[in-house]
Amino acid sequence: MTTLPFDTQNVHWNTIPGIDHLAYQVLAVDETKRIVDILFKFDADAKIVLHRHKADYITFVLQGELRIYQPNGTLKEIRPVGSYVTGTADGEPHTEGGGDQDVIAFFSNRNVKQVVYEILDENQNTIATFGIAEFKALLAAQAPPPSTAVA
């Protein structure tokens, strides 16, 4: 089902080599509060890498529908636009992707100890991790957001 487009004119999408079908903008990294907030864009009709959430999280779907797949590729869940879902750390490994259109979703990762996401191979072995340090580096490297100052 096609949904109204989310206005991304002020979003500077970034990508990570080796992680296909995903773009992001890191919104905030707060080490004191242990929060990492990210805006993700998943390509339509595609899946990202197998991974596991290592922190509690909240998702809010802003455009399209977020599809969650089991490690074997079986569709597990569809989260339509407007879905607000909470999840806990150390859940089942899965892949995610867009439905018939690119999906844009806000992810707020909470109670982050160090690792936010484990990237897994086909045997569910950890091949990479993204934690507070990595997201701080990604935030520092991305284009600054538009100014909110009033003249």
Residue 90 Ramachandran class (φ > 0 left, ψ -120 to 50 alpha, else beta): left
Q: Give domain status of residue 63, yes or no.
A: yes
Rounded Cα–Cα distance for residues 148 and 132 (Å): 26
pTM confidence score: 0.93
pLDDT of residue 18: 92
Q: Is 66 helix (H, G, I), strand (E, B) or coil?
A: strand
Which H or E element spans position 59? Answer: strand 56-63
The candidate with the shortest Cα–Cα distance to 106, out of 9, 1, 11, is 11
Which letter, b or e, does each residue of 57-68 get, where b requires 16 or more Cβ atoms within 10 Å of its Cβ?
bebbbbbbbbbb
Q: Give domain status of residue 4, yes or no.
A: no
Q: Using one digit for the tens of pLDDT, what is the confidence trace for 78-100?
A: 999 999 999 999 999 999 999 99
Beta bridge partners of 44: 98
Pairing state between β 75-79 and 126-131: unpaired
Q: How many structural domains are present in the chain?
A: 1
For residue 128, the enclosing domain spans 22-141
pLDDT band at 132 (very low <50, low <70, confident <90, very high): very high
- In this prediction, residues 5-16 reach a mean pLDDT of 94
The CATH number given to whatever domain includes residue 51 is 2.60.120.10
Q: Give domain status of residue 57, yes or no.
A: yes
- In this prediction, residues 1-6 reach a mean pLDDT of 86
Query: Residue 60 pLDDT > 80, yes or no?
Result: yes
Q: Give domain status of residue 84, yes or no.
A: yes
pLDDT of residue 144: 81
pLDDT of residue 145: 74
